[in-house]
Structure 1
Amino acid sequence: MTVPSAPAPRGPIPRRLAFLTVPLMINLIYSAVTLLTLPFSGPVLNDLMAQMQTQMGVTGMTLSPAQVTAVLWLSFALTVVQILCLYYTRRAVLDGRSWGRVSSIVLAVFSLLFFPLGTVLGIVMLIGAFDRDVVAYTAR
């Protein structure tokens, strides 16, 4: 059984649509690299906890192996959800769907929090999302 393809959006593809799709692709690649490095982050967690312990003067801040495993699996699941959200948002924007534009605005606002690269990508995405041609292109 095949999935019916979405009808092509009306009109030519606007120039500033790349202001949405390129930062989404950069975020997608960055998240994929993060996902690939996640299995090697276990020892880093305990090292980070040890550094915090010495700086704050607090004792007993270590993670058991079960807690490290839980943290890594939770990080894995959240990163997979983020990758899927970025992928489907980018596809929706390219297909001219309005929910893709709205989702990219939400992602752009969250990207503003991750200084410095995320801030730049978020600003570029917001400029592209509020462009008149992009709004008209994603009006379905």
Structure 2
Amino acid sequence: MTSKWRRTVLIILGLWLVHKVVVVVVVVVVVVVVVGAVKVEVVNAVVGVVVGVVEGIYFSSKNIDKTIKVVVVVVVVVVVVVVVAAVVVVVVVVVVVVVVVVVVVVAAAVVIVKVTLGLHSITLINLNCPNT
């Protein structure tokens, strides 16, 4: 391959790689923002329901025994904690999956560029040289 041809191929593959990375980054940002917004809305809705139930049971009904009131409040709080924890776990799983996809796409793109240019023997660190 001539020097000009190799440079042209490198520029084209570099632009292609940048395009793929930009697309993946945009998708990651959109997913994180959407998942974050959904998480906030779910948590707000659950907290609103819990506050309403607790207020309704604890303050409005004078005839219910205090022990029953406390048990109901504890059960509602436990349910809220479980739901919020589940939402947080889902968000963490989605973010981890997105990060793994980004890493795989970038690694695959780098390998494709190296193999296409015949640079598969080049590494970032020369392991044969003891001075690096």
Higher helix share: 2
Which of 1 and 2 has greater Rg? 2
TM range (shorter): 0.3 to 0.5
Report the TM-score when normalising by structure 2.
0.40
Report the TM-score when normalising by structure 1.
0.39
